[in-house]
Chains A and B, each alone.
Chain A
Amino acid sequence: MYLFGHRGVPTEHRKRINSAKEPQHLTPEEPMWIPLRDWGGEIDPLSPRQDVLAGQKIGTGSRVGVVPMTGIFQRYSEVEHPMEGHLSCALVDGIHRSRTVREKKERAGFSAEELIALARDAAIIDEYDGLPLYEKLRDFLRNKVKLLVANAVDDEPYVSSGISTVLYYGKEVAGGMELIRSILPRSATGLLAVFAPSSIHGMSRITEHKLKVKVKKLNGNYPLWIGLDRWLAKEEKTVGKVGVQACRALYRAAYYEEAQTECMVTVDGEGIATAGNFSVPVGMTLSDLLQKCGLQKNARQVILGNPMTGIAVTNLQIPITQTTRSVIVLTTEHPGGKKSYPCLGCGRCNSVCPMKLYPGVVAKRWERGQAKNLENYHIEQCIGCGCCTVVCPAGRDLCTMMLKLKTNDPDPIQLYEKE
């Protein structure tokens, strides 16, 4: 109950997980744009109209990608992806509808070099920070990580892809965590951190007993990972964070010899008919995904990523990559619609900031032209969560202002959306 003050913005009521059904595997109908990344090594380019098989590595020069489903390669091209930047892609169409189901192979333990090579071969990317998993494993070894935290903290509104991965593929996630833990120093432990509000059924399936790994269920307001970080800081061990989808992909690479060709994406919002979590092949275009999920005619904004820190896209011919955890379609344009007013002095921004900063006070000082000596307000601790902008009744964009003041950005600061 807010009466006794919680900082942050509550979001658990906006998550929809149908815990009875496994997430649907989608098959693309439009041509796929398979992202090619730099994994080192050389590969020969393909010629147009060449058949490619599921699991085959294709690429040009040092840029390599993995084909999710059998089809016909057309050509190479470049795409400006809002989250990944300039991305080289391979266009593949004529997708076969069948999916190959592989069998589990028993393997003895892996050494560190073997696991890192496996992660690189399987082209696994961590979905939270976009780094290749093999680089992260190398860093873990170098920094002698003692606590491995698998991140399924989906505390933003609508997003539940991490929670779904843990709900349905929990054993695989735990297996992947165990694999990583086996190459870390001997006293290293693993921890699965998952956002588990009471409104999501089936959370009782995620227990330490069932998954054989320590589980920490979190509940609270966005941004929850601040609380998680503070709790981890108390542990006084070197922490290494990894995403649950990357853990699962590592497990499947080790025991099923599969590369990471699918990612879990939450598609939700008022502009979608069938919302939920879907297993999407990497490279499926955004327009294809939205058509499959029932894009409504009154959709106004398509957001790649979560609503708090995502990007609104207008060009839907971009591929879904491993870092796309959610796609939200809204029928009302945000942040427009709220009439802008001067600051009321209501103080909600000050009471909601999770880092206990004072965005309202800083904004007033900036408006008066006194934006110097702001270290007294601890601006450098701002994490850009956006809570202050969410609660402001006067429609002021405080989050961007705080970030620009923190980084001394030369761009002019705009507190109001000019129409």
Chain B
Amino acid sequence: MKLRLEPVPGQELRNILRDELIYRNSVVVGALGMCPVVAVGISLQNALLLGLLMAILMIPTCLFSAVALKNVPTWVRRPILCIVASLLYGLAMLLVEDLHTGFFEEVSLYAPILVVSSVLLTHADRCAEEENFWRALMHTIGGSLGFLLVLVLVGVGREFLTFGTIGGRKIFQNYHTIAATAMPFFGMIVIGYLGAIFKKISVDREKKQAKRAKRKEETV
């Protein structure tokens, strides 16, 4: 299988992006890579920085997988991917540390975990089986954006419930800090609620499509 560079219609690329973001989101619908979201997705700042970190790790690794690891069996491909990602980690660390010092001490274990995150590995596997370069690129960008989207939703929600702030700015004056919403179990609960919302969006869309198909049948 060779990687081809044929142009792909824009509508298809948009569909891929939309699927990755909403209808087949890796975290909420695929239940992948929940660990960093649940553990340290407790503020908007954490969310954005982790998302950036994930993007820096994911996009080059997946493109590398699409280009060079096509005919390699899975059990060989995955360790190679992890090594590539960890090589990138050093670069990413410098970048992110520049943006906010002290970030890596805050998140301790959960940033390096992104190197072996199932989100990254699953997308890399899919890119390895993808024939077209642009589609692979869109999958990757969509995947990292989807991860970022969930992180932001969870982070903003939990920051608001825990501290009453969004992005560090206070919304209410006398907010009593709730310590329990910063704990991992509440992250799972928030992901559960997000899953319900995303599922409702999916189901509504399916209903609309079914109605449209029925109407087409009736007119024909």
A touches B (Cβ under 8 A): no
Footprint of B on A, CB under 8 Å? none
Footprint of A on B, CB under 8 Å? none
